[in-house]
A and B are shown apart, each in its own frame.
Chain A
Amino acid sequence: MIRALRSYSAELLLVALIILAAIWSSQLSPYFLDVNNLMNSAAFFVVFGLMAFGLFPIVVQGEIDISLASTLAVASVLFAKLSVSGVPVLVAVPVVLAITAALGAINGLLVAYAGLPSLAVTLGTLGAYRGVAYLLAGDAGVTGLTKDYTFLGMSWIGIVPSTVVLFLLAALVIGVVMETTKFGRYSYAIGANPDASRSASVPVRQVRVGAYAIAGAMAGLAGFIWVNQYQSARGDNADGAILFVLTAVVLGGVSIKGGSGRALGVLLSTLLLATIQTGMKLANVPGTSQTLVIGLLLIASIGGPQLVHLVRTSVLRPRRSAPVGGEAGVRT
C-alpha cells in the first residue's frame, strides 16, 4: 500500500495542487465552481491536452517536438478548406489526420534516420509548417464552415461537452498504448538508453518515427477540435501553444531526458494548468501575465527537484571527496 502510494507520489502531489488551485479559483469568483463554467472551461483546454498527449511519447523517448502547434494550424486550415469545398467530414477526418501524421513523420525521419537533433528539426518545421498554414489560409483565414464540421463543439454527452469526452478517450488510448504495447515499452527503453535499446534489437528508428507520426495525428485531431470550437481557421491558430503543452508534459512527471513518466501524470498536470489558467482568467489577469505563471511552473517543475538535490547535498553532506564517474556533475 505504502509502496503504491510512494510510486504515485508525483500524481498525488498534482491532485493536491489541483485541489488548492480549485479552492483559490473559487475564492476569486463564485462562478468558478458552477458546473457549466467548469465544463466550458475544460472544453477550452481540450486542444492543448490533445497536443500534450501527442508530445508525451516523444518526450518519453528523450526527444522533443516544438512544431505541434504549427501542425495543428495546418490541420485546422485544411479542415476549414475541405468543409468550405463540400467534402463530407467522414472523408476529411482520415485524410487530414493522415496528412498531419505524415508531417509528424517527416520530423521523425529527419531525427531518426538523418540523425539530426530533434529541437533543431522541429524548430525548422515549426516555421515551415506555420508558413504552409498561412499560405493555405491566406490573409483572411477561412470561415463559413458547414455544420458537420462544427457540431462537436456544441454538443454535450450528458453535462459533459463531447470534445472533453473525446479528449479523455484519446488520453486513455495513449495511456494504454504506452503501458501495454510493444511500442510503449520500446519508447521507455529508448528514452532510458537508446544505445542499449539498439543493441537489444529494438527497432529504434521505426519507434521514433512512429511516435512523431502519432504526435502529428494528435495535433491533427486537435485541429479538428479547433474548427469545431471556433468555426473558423487561420494561419496563426494556436501560435505559441507549445509552452502550455510542454509544461503540461514535464509538470506531469515525464522526465525531459526520457525514460519515465505516466499518462496519468500528464492528464493531472493538464487539469492543474487548466484550473490555474481559468482561475487567472476569472481574476482578470492579462494573457501575457498568464504565460508568465506557466513559464515559472515549467522552470520550477524541472529546476525544483534539482534545487532540492543541490541544497540537500551541500547542506547534509558538505564534504564529499572526489566524486566519481557519472556522479561527477557532468551532464550526461
Chain B
Amino acid sequence: MNSSSQTSSLLARLRLSGSGGAALRVRFIGVLAFQLLLVIVFTTLAPRFLSWDNAQSILFTAAILAMAAAGQTLVVLTGNLDLSVGSIMGLVAYVVFDVSSQAHWLMAFTVPVAIALGAVLGLINGVLVAYLKIPSMVATLGTLSVYRGLVSFYANAMEVTSGELPQWMRSLATQRWLGVSSYVWIALAVVIIVGLALSQLPWGRKLYALGSNPRAAYYYGLNENGILVGAYVGAGAIAGFVGLLLGAQVGNINSLLAFGIEMQVLAAVVIGGVSIWGGSGSVYGAALGAIVLATINNGLVLVGVQEFYRLLFQGLAIVAAVAVDALVQKRVLTATRRRVILEVAA
C-alpha cells in the first residue's frame, strides 16, 4: 500500500467534514427555533398568548432575568458559577433602599451605591474562588446563605415600603419608552454593554481564554486570578443594579427579595448556550435564554397549567441544554483537532 496516498485521502475526508463553528451557530439557531416552537404551541393552546400586551409582559419578566443572566454569563464563561446572585440582589436592594429612605440626600446616588455594593460582594466571591481556591459552587453556595443571612439580620423582619423609595425609581418600573417598558430598554443596554465588553475589550477575550483552557491561559501569561476576580466583580455589580430595579418594581421589599432566583438565572444562561464548562457562548444567547424562560413561565400560566410544572420544565431544560452542549463541545473539539492535523500536514 502507498502510505502517502492513504494520508492524502484521509486529509481530503477531513477537509470535507466542516468546522466546529457551525455546531455553535446551530446551537444558537436551535434556541431560536425552540422559542418559535414555544410561541406556536402556546398560541394554539391559548389564543390570548399572541398579543402585543402579552409580549410586553413576557419581555418585562425577561428583562430582569436577562440582566442577571448577563452578569452570570461573565462568571460561567470562566468555567465557574455564581449561586449567590439572588442573595446579592436581595441584600443590595434592601440595604440601599433602606439607607436612602433614612438619609434622603443619598437618593440621587442609589444607582452607583447599589453597583458599588454589588461589586464588593462580587469581589468577596472572586477572592474566595480565585485566591482561596474554593470550588465556585461551594464558595457561592456559602455566600448565598451568608449574604441572605446578613440581609435578614439587617432587616430584622422589617420591610421597606414602596412609599419610602425614591420617586423616580418608583415610576421607572411603570414607565414606557417608545411603547416598550423602560426595563426592557435598560436590559437591552446592559446586555449590549456586556456583549461589547466581551467582544471588544482585551479583558473579554481573556475571559474566554481562561474559560476554555485555564492551563494554557496560565502558560500564556494571563493573570488568571485577576481575570476571575474581575468576572465576579462584574457579575456582582450587575446583580446589585438588577436588585435595585427588581426592588423598585416589587415596591415592598423584605429580606426575601429575589430568593431562589439563581435557579432561573442559571437556567437562562445554560439554555442560552453558554457552556457550563466555560469558554464558549455569548451574552446575547443568555438573553435569549431569559426570553425562552419568561415565555415558558408566561405560557404555562395562560394555558392554566399548575405553577409546579414550571420547576419541572426548568429543571429538565437545564439538563437538556447541558446535554446538547456536551455534543456541541465534542464537535468543536474534533473539528479543532482536525484543523490542527490539517495544518500540521500542510
Contacting chain B: which of A181-189, A268-276, A294-302?
A294-302
Q: Tell me the minimal C-beta distance from B100 to chain A in angstroms.
A: 23
How far does the alpha carbon of A331 sit from the alpha carbon of B139 in the complex, in Å?
15
- With an 8 A cutoff between CB atoms, is A102 at the interface? no
Restricting to B227-274, which residues have a CB under 8 Å from any CB of A?
Answer: 255, 263, 266-267, 270
A328 at the interface (CB under 8 A from B): yes
Residues of A with C-beta under 8 A to B314: 127-128, 131
Whether B319 lies near A119 (C-beta < 8 A) is no
**Contact between B138 and A256 (Cβ–Cβ < 8 Å)?**
yes
**By the criterion of a CB under 8 Å from any partner CB, how many residues of chain A are at the interface?**
50
Closest Cβ–Cβ distance, residue B221 to chain A (whole Å) = 12
Task: Assess the B311–A291 pair: CB atoms within 8 A.
Answer: no
B322/A117 in contact, CB under 8 A:
yes
Would A131 and B309 count as touching, CB distance under 8 A? Answer: yes
**0/1 interface trace, chain A 251-264, chain B, CB 8 Å (1 if under):** 00000110000000
Contact across chains for B312 and A128 when beta carbons are under 8 A apart: yes
Name the B residues within 8 Å of A291 (CB-CB). 145, 148-149
Name the residue in A256, A295, A303 with the highest tally of chain B Cβ atoms < 10 Å from its Cβ.
Answer: A295
Partner of A116, one of B139, B149, B218, B323: B323
Question: Given the known A-B contacts A131-B309, A131-B315, A299-B128, are A288 and B148 also in contact in the complex, defined by CB atoms under 8 Å?
Answer: yes
Determine whether A69 belongs to the interface, using a CB cutoff of 8 Å to chain B. Answer: no
Q: Check B149–A120 contact: CB distance below 8 A.
A: no
Contact of B149 among A292, A331, A332 (CB under 8 A): A292
Residue of B nearest to A110 (CB): B319
Q: Are B149 and A295 touching (Cβ within 8 A)?
A: yes
In the complex, whether B137 has a CB less than 8 A from a CB of chain A is yes
Cβ of A124: which chain B residues have Cβ within 8 Å of it? 315-319, 322
Contacts of B263 in A (CB 8 A): 123, 126-127
B-chain residues with CB within 8 Å of residue A116 when the two chains form the complex: 319, 322-323, 326
Please state if A307 and B132 are interface contacts (CB–CB under 8 Å). yes
A331 in contact with B133 (CB, 8 Å): yes
A154, B309: Cα distance in complex, Å: 35
The CA-CA distance from A199 to B38 in the complex, in Å, is 45
Q: Are A292 and B145 in contact (CB under 8 A)?
A: yes
Interface residues of A in 269-322 (CB under 8 A from B): 286, 288-296, 298-299, 302-303, 306-307, 310
- B residues less than 8 Å from A243 (CB atoms): 141, 144-145
B215 lies within 8 A of chain A by Cβ: yes
Known pairs A286-B152, A291-B148; A298 contacts B315 (CB<8 A)? no
CB within 8 Å for A128 and B276 given contacts A120-B270, A330-B218: no
| 11 contacts across the A-B interface (CB closer than 8 A) | A114-B326, A119-B137, A120-B319, A120-B322, A128-B311, A128-B316, A130-B311, A134-B308, A286-B157, A288-B255, A306-B133
The 3 closest A-B pairs by CB, nearest first: A292-B149, A128-B315, A131-B312
A residues contacting B by CB (< 8 A) are 64, 110, 114-117, 119-121, 123-132, 134-135, 235, 242-243, 246, 250, 256-257, 286, 288-296, 298-299, 302-303, 306-307, 310, 328-332
